[in-house]
Amino acid sequence: MSSEQQLERGLQASVKIYTLAQAKLDDLTDADTECAVTRKELVDLRKAAVSMNRALTALVRESHEAENRLTLELHMLRGIMQREHTDRDANRARVFELFRRYTGGAEDGALAAPAGSSNNPLNAPTASAMAVDRALASLERVEQSVRDLSPVGRVNVHGAGLLSAKAKLDSALGGVKRPKLSGSSST
């Protein structure tokens, strides 16, 4: 039953009790101190009181449920607003960091501002500069991952240097054949 129907039922019961009491008071004279109430009137009075009590109880219960729901929604909104505030602060810090990086205010390892740009922090980096930065960062992460997985550590020797050293060694030896290194010995 909706709250409007509960309220209407309670009000009708209240009117019934009021009209019964008013009719009995109108019947009394000033000297009368007692009032006769029939069993039927008393039963009607009790039913109206019970109906009014039930309607009030339902309205109070509905009011408490609405208050609990609103309190819960308020707490949820507070949590959402706190997360939004945190996100806003993080985005603000990220933007200031980008401004610092692109205005030359960063120390070692920072990207310099693009050529021809001023030191105005409102000059945002171009989309291509951001794409290059993301590509370089991705490449660095991949290289770091490979270094982390490498069981032998860093080696600063690359293939061209090895080929060059082999060519120098071969030319220095002339036509002398070097013995082959193999894992098995012949007997």
- How high is the mean pLDDT in each 10-residue block of the chain (187 residues)? 83 89 82 82 90 89 92 92 89 83 58 53 70 84 77 56 75 69 52
CA angle (165 as vertex; 161, 169 as ends), nearest 5: 170
Q: What is the DSSP string of 15-82?
A: HHHHHHHHHHHHH--SS-------HHHHHHHHHHHHHHHHHHHHHHHHHHHHHHHHHHHHHHHHHHHH
Amino acid letter for position 171: S
Answering whether pTM is above 0.95, one says no
